[in-house]
Amino acid sequence: AQSVAQPEDQVNVAEGNPLTVKCTYSVSGNPYLFWYVQYPNRGLQFLLKYITGDNLVKGSYGFEAEFNKSQTSFHLKKPSALVSDSALYFCAVRDTESGGYQKVTFGTGTKLQVIP
């Protein structure tokens, strides 16, 4: 069964330090992988998408994500965290090889707290 795991409910990081938000997935075929961010009292925003090709995907606001096929992971990273990065982050996977409709599954979300 298709699944997405975000093993950390919350990640705390000091401002200026690098941050990583973890995501692992399980799909039957080749995945499309996504990261979204939801700021307090603001809507959901798309950060980045992995389709194929380069394992390092660059997205909005200085974020990037590293696709690792052998570890079935798609961790979100940023070299230097900002207080304004504090938000709820969601990982999602879309199975591109399922017959008919392509199943889309979201992780449960990771709250990122950047400490000044």
Partner 1 sequence: KAGVTQTPRYLIKTRGQQVTLSCSPISGHRSVSWYQQTPGQGLQFLFEYFSETQRNKGNFPGRFSGRQFSNSRSEMNVSTLELGDSALYLCASSLIAGEQETQYFGPGTRLLVL
Q: Is residue 39 part of the contact set for partner 1 (CB under 8 A)?
A: no
Q: For partner 1, give the closer residue by CB, 12 or 108.
A: 108
The 3 state secondary structure assigned to 72-107 is: CEEEEEECCCCHHHCEEEEEEEEECCCCCCCCEEEC
Of positions 11, 57, 81, 92, contacts partner 1 by CB under 8 A: 92
CA distance linking residue 6 with residue 21, whole number of Å: 8
Q: Is residue 30 part of the contact set for partner 1 (CB under 8 A)?
A: no
Q: For partner 1, give the closer residue by CB, 19 or 107.
A: 107
Q: For the chain, what is the largest distance between any 2 Cα atoms, rounded to a whole number of angstroms?
A: 48
The neighbouring-strand residues paired with 44 are: 38
Q: Is residue 21 part of the contact set for partner 1 (CB under 8 A)?
A: no
- Minimum distance of partner 1 from residue 100's CB (angstroms): 9
Q: Rule CB under 8 A: which of 52-91 touch partner 1?
A: 52, 90
State how far Cα 9 lies from the chain centre: 13
Of positions 5, 75, 102, 111, contacts partner 1 by CB under 8 A: 102
Total Cβ atoms within 10 A of residue 36: 19
Q: Point out which residues bind partner 1 (CB under 8 A).
A: 36, 43-46, 49, 51-52, 90, 92, 101-109
